A and B are shown apart, each in its own frame.
Chain A
Amino acid sequence: MKIARQHSIEQEASERKKNFLEVSFGLNEERAFIEAKRCLECKNPICTEGCPVGIDIRSFVQLILQKDYLGAVQKIRETNYLPAICGRVCPQETQCEQVCTMGKKHEPVAIGKLERFVADFELANNLFCPPTISERRDEKVAIVGSGPAGLTCAAELGKLGYQVTIFEALHGIGGVLRYGIPEFRLPKKILDIEAERIQALGVKIYTNFLVGRTATIDELFDEWKFNAIFLGTGAGTPSFMGIPGESLSGVYSANEFLTRINLMKAYSFPEYDTPIRIGQQIAVIGGGNTAMDAVRTAKRLGAERAYLIYRRSREEMPAREEEIHHAEEEGIEFLLLTNPTKILGDKNNWVCGIECLKMELGDSDDSGRRKPVAIKDSEFVIPVQTVIEAVGQKPNPIIQQTTSGLNVGKRGTVVVNDVQQTSREGIFAGGDLTRGGATVILAMGDGKIAAKEIHKYLQAKSKKLEEQFTATTIAEPVLA
C-alpha cells in the first residue's frame, strides 16, 4: 500500500503553546477520504474487537468512502453516544489501531481521526437528530456523577424511555472531561452540545447536588422513589507523594491546578475571579495524561521552562502517544528516570526548588514493568516556583461512607460483578469509581453495560409485580 497515513492539520507548536485553542483541527474532507481508502475492509475486522465498546469500524469507514458522513456518525452512535469526545481523547494506539490489520505491515488506519472527522462534520452542519423514543416508561433511574460513565448510562436509559435524572456535585457537567482535560484538547463547547443532546432525550440534570450529602443513596430510593441507581462518581481524590515540602505555597495537585484553569477559567484572571499563580519555572511530576495536560497548560500560562519529571523511561509513560509527542513539540523538558525527593521553600513559604534523584531501571515488578531504582548520591536540585503532582487518584469516599451494604475494594473502589452490579440490589456502578484511574472509553463501556443491566433488572421487577398482581386478583374470589 503506497498511500501514507494521513495526518491532522495542527496549529504550529510555536503558536499553540501561547493559546488555549485546540491543538489539532483534525482531518479535512480530502484527507479523511484518502485515509478511509487505506482501510482493507477486512473480512474479520479485528479493529472492532480492539474497541472497548465495539464500534463497527469497518462499516463506518466504508460510509465515509461513500461520502455518507452522517450515515457514518450514526453508525458510530449505535454503540458510542459521544464520538466527538472519543475521537479526540481515546488512546487509539493501544485499542483499535493497535490491532488494525493495516498496521501489521504499514501504519494502522487512523480510526480515531476518522471518528472525529464524521463527528465534527455532524456538529458543524448541525445534522444531529435525536433518536426516537418508542416507549415512555414510568421507572425512575438516578445517575450519580456526570462523567463519561454517567453520561453514557443516562443516554442509553434515556433512549429506552426511562425517567432519568443525573446528579452532579460540581456546577458544570462532564466530570474529568470538563474539569481535567484542557480546552486545547477537548473544547468545552463540544461537551455543552453533548449535554444538550442528552437532555433532549428527556434526561433531567441537577448540578450542585452532592449525593451522600445533599441526599443519600437511601434517600434517593426511599424519598425520591428512584427504582435503580447508577454510580459514576469517578476517582477524583488526588494522591500526594508524601515528600517534604508539599504544604508550601505553589504546590498543587494536578486536579486543583486543572480545575482552577478548566472549570474556573483561571487563565482569564482577573476577568474570571479564580486565581492561579505560576512561576517562570515549573515542574510536573508524573507520566500519565494528567501530567501531560498539566505541564502543557503551565507552558501556555507563560512558564519559560516546564519540566516533566517521571521516574521511569519514556516507553513506560502511560500517557497517550499523541500527547507525549505534542508536549515534546511544545518544548516541554522531560526529566526521565528522575524521582523527586523534596520540595524546597523560600522564607515566605513559596516553592523555590525541587530536589530529585536519578533512577535506573531494575527488575520487572508484578505489573511486568521494570522497577525504577535510585542511583546513589545522584541528588540534584532544579529551581522551580511551581510544583504540580500528578501521581494518581483514588475514588472519593463520600458515597461509600454514607451507603450501607456497598462492597468496597482495597483501593476504595466500589466492587462490581461483570455486569456492573454492586453488592446492593438496584445499585450499579462503573468507570473510574470501579476501576481506579482508567479511560474515557472504558468508563463509557461500563455505563452502557450498566444501562442494559438496569433495563433487564427493571423489566424483571415489573414483570414480577405484574405476576404478583395477577396472582392476587385471581386468588381473591369475587363476592357478588
Chain B
Amino acid sequence: MYLITHKEKLSQTITKYVVKAPFIAPKRKAGNFVILRVEEHGERIPITIVDSDAKEGTITLIVQAIGKTTKLLATKNVGDYILDVVGPLGNPTPIENHGAVVCIGGGVGTAEMLPIAKALKKAGNSIYTIIGARSKELIILENEMKEISDKTFITTDDGSYGRKGVVTDQLKDLLDAPLGISAVYAIGPLPMMKFVSLLTKQYDVQTLVSLNAIMVDGTGMCGGCRVTIGGEMKFACVDGPEFDGHQVDFDEMLMRSRSYLAMEKISDELFTHQCQLEK
C-alpha cells in the first residue's frame, strides 16, 4: 500500500501526486517509470517518475486523466493509498553532454521530460525547451521548465498561448538557427514524436523518443509492449522506454496502441456514469 502524501491539480485533467515509496525513491533515475494498480479490480498502468525525494522516501507522479484507471486515480486524495507500485522500471535516459539540445514536451509528456531536462542541464548542456499543447489550459510545468532551460518556447494548436502551431514549427527554426543543436529529446503523443523524428532525420540530428507502449507487467514477461526498432522486435519496458526516433516504426505502434479502444471506452463510460450517479 502506497500512501498519497500530496496532491495538486496542474490543469483541468493533469494532476501531480506525491506517493510514499521508500524503496523506489532513492533508486530512480531520469527516464524511469513505475507500474501501478490503483485498486483490487484495477489495471496495471505505467507512469513516469517525475521526481523523487530519497530522504522522505517519496516519488512524484504527474498523470493525465484520460481513461478509467487514470480517472479512478484522480478520485484518490491525500491520505488514500494506491494498492501497488513497482519500480523503478525501464532503462534510465542516457545523459551526455551534447553541447546544445532541444527538449520537447507535448501535453503530459512535459512532465516526463522535466527530469530528463534537469539531468541534461546538470551534465552541462544548453537546453532549448519546447512545450506544446492543444491550448493554453493544457500547458503544464512552464515555470519549472523555464528554470532549467536556456530558452523556453511554447506552442499551442489554437494559438491561445505562445506561438500558434505545432512543436515541429518551432523545432525547425531552432535547427535552422546557428545554435549547434546536436540532440533532440521528445516525449509526447505518438504522432508528435513521429513528426519530430521525421524532421530531425532531415537534419541528421540524433533524436531520442519515449515510447508509451501498452504494458502489463513491465518486467519483460508478457511481450505486450513489443515495438519494432530498426526492423527488430524490442520490448519497450526492458529495452526502452526510450529509443532512437529514427529507427522506430511509429505507424505500427500507432495501430497497436489502438488495440483496446472499444473496451477502454466501455470502462470509461461505466466509470464516468457511476461517478455521475454518486454525485
Q: What residues of A have a CB within 8 angstroms of the CB of B42 in the complex? A: 272-273
Are B43 and A273 interface neighbours, CB within 8 A? Answer: yes
Query: How far apart sit A213 and B259, CA to CA, in the bound complex (Å)?
Result: 29
Q: Shortest CB–CB separation between residue B233 and chain A, in angstroms? A: 6
CA distance A273 to B265 in the complex (A): 11
Check A210 against B86 for contact (C-beta < 8 Å).
yes
Decide yes or no whether B120 CB sits under 8 A from chain A: no
B72-106 toward A: CB 8 Å interface, digit per residue (1/0)? Answer: 00000000000111111100000000000000000
A273→B259 contact, CB < 8 A: no
Neighbour of B223 across the interface among A171, A215, A255, CB < 8 A: A255
* B264 in the interface (beta carbon within 8 A): yes
B111-119, B125-133, B163-171, B212-220: which lies at the A interface? Answer: B212-220
A214-B27, A397-B220 given; A277·B86 CB < 8 A = no
Q: CB-defined interface of B227-263 with A at 8 Å, one 1/0 digit per residue?
A: 0100001010010000000000100100110111011
Contact assessment for B221 and A209 in the assembled complex, using a CB-CB cutoff below 8 Å: no
Asked if A270 and B255 make an inter-chain contact with CB atoms under 8 angstroms apart, the answer reads no
**Measured CA separation A247–B250 after assembly (Å):** 12
List of B residues within 8 angstroms of A6 by Cβ? none
Bound-state CA distance A247–B258 (Å) is 12
Q: Which chain A residues lie closer than 8 Å to B68 at the CB level?
A: 273
Instruction: Report A232-253 CB contacts with B as 1/0, cut-off 8 Å.
Output: 0000111010100011111011
Asked if B266 and A270 sit within 8 Å, CB to CB, the answer is: yes
Give which listed residue, A214, A246, A259, A273, contacts B86 with CB less than 8 A: A214
Whether B224 sits at the interface, judged by CB under 8 Å, is yes
**A269→B223 contact, CB < 8 A:** no
* Complexed CA–CA distance, A72 and B233 (Å): 51
- Enumerate chain B residues within 8 angstroms of A274, measured Cβ to Cβ: 43-44, 216
B219 touches A169 (CB 8 A): yes
Give complex CA distance A273, B260 in Å.
Answer: 12
A240–B233 CB distance below 8 A? yes
Collect the chain B residues with CB atoms within 8 Å of residue A270's CB: 263, 266-267, 270
B23 within 8 A of A: yes
Instruction: Give a binary string over A407-446; 1 marks a CB under 8 Å from any B CB, 0 the rest.
Output: 0000000000000000000000000000000000000000
B50 → A minimal CB distance (Å): 18
Q: Does A11 contact B (CB under 8 A)?
A: no
Does A260 have its Cβ within 8 Å of any Cβ on chain B? yes
- In the complex, A396 has a CB within 8 A of chain B: yes
Q: Contact: B83 with A171, CB < 8 Å?
A: yes
B37 x A171 contact (CB < 8 A):
yes
Residues of the B chain whose Cβ atoms lie less than 8 Å from the Cβ of A396: 219-221, 238
Closest chain-A Cβ to B258's Cβ sits at a distance in Å of 7
* Residue among B24, B216, B221, B235 having the largest count of chain A Cβ atoms under 10 Å: B221
Q: Mark A443-468, 1 if CB is under 8 A from B, else 0.
A: 00000000000000000000000000
B219: which A residues are within 8 A, CB to CB? 169-170, 210, 236, 396, 398
CB distance from A246 to the nearest CB of B (A): 7
A269: nearest chain-B partner, CB-CB:
B263
- Cα distance, A213 to B26, chains bound together (Å): 11
* Neighbour of A264 across the interface among B216, B228, B266, CB < 8 A: B216
Q: Is the CB of B228 within 8 A of A273?
A: no
A273 pairs with B267, CB closer than 8 A: yes
Contact A252 B224 (CB under 8 A): yes
Across the interface, which residues of B come within 8 angstroms of A265, CB to CB? Answer: 41
Contact residues in A for B207 (Cβ distance below 8 Å): none
- In the complex, what's the smallest C-beta–C-beta distance from B46 to chain A, in angstroms? 13
The answer to whether A247 and B41 touch (CB under 8 A), given A170-B217, A237-B220, A277-B263, is no
Q: How many residues of B contact A (CB 8 A)?
A: 43
Contact of A238 with B86 at beta-carbon distance under 8 Å, contacts A209-B23, A277-B260, A277-B263 already known: no
With A and B bound together, what is the CA distance between A208 and B1 in angstroms? 10
Interface contact A256-B41, CB-CB below 8 Å: no
Q: Does A15 contact B (CB under 8 A)?
A: no
Asked if A94 is an interface residue, CB under 8 A from chain B, the answer is no
Whole-angstrom distance between the Cβ of A131 and the nearest chain B Cβ: 31
Tell me if A272 and B41 are in contact (CB < 8 A): yes
CA distance A253 to B224 in the complex (A): 7
Which residues on the A side are within 8 Å of B249 (C-beta)?
247
Determine the residue in chain A with the shortest Cβ distance to B40.
A272
Residue of A nearest to B228 (CB): A247
Taken together as a complex, chains A and B put the C-alpha atoms of A250 and B259 apart, in Å, by: 8
B27 CB contact (under 8 Å) in A213, A240, A256:
A213
Asked if B141 lies at the interface with its beta carbon under 8 angstroms from chain A, I say no
Interface string of A211-224 (1 = CB under 8 A from B): 00111000000000
Kindly identify which residue among B43, B87, B270 contacts A210, using a CB–CB cutoff of 8 Å: B87
**When each residue 144-172 of chain A gets 1 if its CB lies under 8 Å from chain B and 0 otherwise, what string results?**
00000000000000000000000001110
Q: Are A260 and B216 in contact (CB under 8 A)?
A: yes
Instruction: Check A271 for interface membership: any CB of B closer than 8 A.
Output: yes
When the two chains form their complex, are residues A249 and B223 in contact, meaning their CB atoms are under 8 A apart? no
Closest to B252 in A: A247
Nearest first, the 7 closest Cβ-Cβ pairs linking A and B are A275-B263, A256-B222, A349-B255, A236-B221, A253-B223, A273-B43, A208-B86
Residues of chain A whose beta carbon lies under 8 Å from any beta carbon of chain B: 169-171, 179, 207-210, 213-215, 236-238, 240, 242, 246-250, 252-253, 255-256, 259-260, 264-265, 269-275, 277, 348-349, 396-398
Identify 24 residue pairs between A and B in the complex whose beta-carbon atoms are under 8 Å apart, listed by A's number. Answer: A169-B217, A213-B27, A214-B86, A214-B87, A238-B221, A240-B223, A247-B252, A247-B255, A250-B259, A255-B221, A259-B216, A259-B222, A260-B216, A265-B41, A269-B263, A270-B267, A273-B42, A273-B267, A274-B216, A348-B255, A349-B256, A396-B219, A396-B221, A398-B220
Given contact pairs A249-B259, A259-B216, A398-B220, a sample of 9 additional A-B residue pairs in the complex whose CB atoms are under 8 Å apart: A169-B86, A171-B44, A207-B84, A213-B27, A247-B249, A256-B216, A256-B222, A273-B267, A274-B216
